Structure 1
């Protein structure tokens, strides 16, 4: 059996495909992954023996502004993504039995078009429930289309989301479909989601609520035990004192990285704690040369989080999932998209605190850290970690093989 997995996303959106790919290979499947051409993605996939097909532009360069905005803005980028994923997936999907797509709608639409042309099974997967239509939560705003402040009914908001998604992506998707001989679609969102999307999220951390209109298949999070050792310098720092507080914002380019680093380190020191600062795409750096702080680049988060007193992060699905699995208390400083949802879930579960607003300040972060570092929060985080379903990738792999016969 041959399976192609695809994502146009940041590291947190590509990492789950690593877990699924490995589990598929263990069941005897041949696997390829179409993902952005960022070096860290390729290195991670090669490290587990999975072939990667670079597709689209560098996500990091786009997010950090190294690639200038295109003249046509979002519509132009959408058209480029549809074409890039259609072309690359078409070339890589020869002999494939199933295509699995996640990430941005235009990229997913390109994969869906390949599945139609080849007549093979197609699965759309989301890493969080809030991107899927449900009466229990509102949609996330589309680019340039804020949610109307005077509408509070979730069903009405999701009806409007159909119109918003069509307005933002419809022309790009349908122009490409016409060029390859496929009919137009008048509901791009539901076209790519299908009526039976998969939810690759832990059912305790991010449950799918019934009743709902979609037949969602919740597999559990696609995680893979990471056996990579921590760097020697980091290990020496961890061994030299009490568990530190980790601070990292992943693929988020913070507006004032120096101010963020200062506020977080000073708040951590006020709690009598040491700190590990992750550079991330914000390029965070230490504020002085004191020996109670250490800065890291790309490391094994699973191993590091298990040695931390708490984790301060942006609330992306990947980082929140890893921290929850590690049983470490969290402070979520949400920046947008699905991150406010995960901040709320962390607070509701009692495994950490949701920071008020996207910009950490000394006072606000200190208050959140007091909650996260309380003994009761650690006990609750340990209990939730014990209930975490770590077999989601294996469940999804078996479902794909069974469906393909």
Structure 2
């Protein structure tokens, strides 16, 4: 069997696809991954021996550029749809199925329809699924009218936003290959039964959304890399430090986050391990209680730190939860406020109020995360986090393809 996986987004969107690719390959499937052209994604996929088909523009350049990404949204959306009908469609030739994820894969279901192959849409957090239980998240486009609180009305307005961003480009390309127009782009992409690739303890699916979701568990790519010797030396030189890292966030307009975080951690009597990330954070002085790291095996690291201060990406939240590390989530965009709330609700850490920490606000959050009862709760929850999500999803997909494939005797 041949399967195409695709997603446009940051590492938190690409790494789960690598995890699913490895699981599919272990079950005998041939897999390729369409992902952005950034070098780190190419290296990630090469490291597990999965062919990488680059498409779209560099996500890092998009996120860290001078112009905020939301201002470029209409052009980015139209360009992505064209890539779906171009590069992604070419990669799907000869495949039995395509699994789409990441930033609005608006043309991929159309490609699968034209090729006559199975299509699945996977999301990594439940909040993108329309529900009467919560409002839609922020999206580029016309602001919601003030005073509207009915979630059903807000989701209808969200439909209009998605149609405005993707509808014209999608339907133009669909017409070019002989397919009828789509009047609700978002729901067309999601399907009636989307896959939720998130842990059911961290992100309960059907109970929260009301959708008939297929919840597989998070797609975790097992990381076997040893920690660098200099990191090992820092860890061994004292008590467990607090890790501070914001991954692929540019932290535009968030002030001097590194200084605030380091000062707040030091005030709690802790050392600091700071992740540079796309914001290029680093030490603020030459003191030996602070050490900076680049891309690293977080699965190995988080079990050895006192707490993790991060942006609240789905992958980082899940990795810290699996490691039993208390968390402080300082949410920046999109799904991150949801993960911050879940961390607080589960008692495994603190949700910082807003994207810009001050010494005072971060100190309060750290007090919660570093409390003994939070560590105990995080340790307990760690034992409930599933580790088989990618294997579950791989088996579900291959079984579905088998059911749809005519037997040789038919």
TM-score by length of 1: 0.96
What secondary structure sits across from 2:106 in the alignment? helix
Q: More displaced, 172-181 or 87-96? A: 172-181
- Match in the other structure for 1:76: 75
1:168-226 CA deviation, whole Å, 9 max, x = no partner?
22112222222333221110001100101000000000001448663211111111221
What secondary structure sits across from 2:166 in the alignment? helix
- Match in the other structure for 2:406: none
Structure 2 CA distance for aligned equivalents of residues 333 and 248 of structure 1: 10
What secondary structure sits across from 1:31 in the alignment? strand
Asked if 1:141 corresponds to 2:138, the answer is: yes
1:82-131 CA deviation, whole Å, 9 max, x = no partner?
111221122212221110000111xx122212101101000000000000
Q: 1:168 aligns with which of 165, 174, 191?
A: 165
1:307-347 CA deviation, whole Å, 9 max, x = no partner?
11000001111111111111100000011211111100000
What secondary structure sits across from 1:331 in the alignment? strand
| Contact 1:33 1:50 survives alignment (8 Å) | yes
- Match in the other structure for 1:102: 101
C-alpha distance 186-256 of structure 1, shift in aligned 2 (>3 A)? closer
1:345-389 CA deviation, whole Å, 9 max, x = no partner?
000000000011111110000010000000000010111110001
Q: More displaced, 164-173 or 1-10? A: 164-173
C-alpha displacement of 1:77: 1.6
What secondary structure sits across from 1:125 in the alignment? strand
| Contact 1:258 1:285 survives alignment (8 Å) | no
Asked if 1:271 corresponds to 2:268, the answer is: yes
Asked if 1:220 corresponds to 2:217, the answer is: yes
Structure 2 CA distance for aligned equivalents of residues 377 and 173 of structure 1: 47
Structure 2 CA distance for aligned equivalents of residues 164 and 400 of structure 1: 31
Count of aligned residue pairs for this structure pair: 401
Q: More displaced, 86-95 or 36-45? A: 86-95
What secondary structure sits across from 1:306 in the alignment? helix
Structure 1 CA distance for aligned equivalents of residues 388 and 68 of structure 2: 40
Root-mean-square deviation (Å): 1.6
Asked if 1:338 corresponds to 2:338, the answer is: no
| Contact 2:7 2:102 survives alignment (8 Å) | yes
Q: More displaced, 144-153 or 237-246? A: 144-153
What secondary structure sits across from 2:304 in the alignment? coil
What secondary structure sits across from 1:387 in the alignment? coil
| Contact 1:75 1:172 survives alignment (8 Å) | no
Structure 1 residue runs of 5 or longer lacking an equivalent are none
C-alpha displacement of 1:253: 0.6
- Match in the other structure for 2:36: 36
C-alpha displacement of 1:256: 5.3
What secondary structure sits across from 1:399 in the alignment? helix
Alignment of 1:2-401 (within 5 A): 2-65=2-65, 73-105=72-104, 108-210=105-207, 214-255=211-252, 259-401=256-398
Structure 2 CA distance for aligned equivalents of residues 325 and 102 of structure 1: 23
Structure 1 CA distance for aligned equivalents of residues 236 and 207 of structure 2: 46
Structure 2 CA distance for aligned equivalents of residues 73 and 142 of structure 1: 12
C-alpha displacement of 1:257: 6.9
| Contact 1:328 1:381 survives alignment (8 Å) | yes
| Contact 1:55 1:84 survives alignment (8 Å) | yes
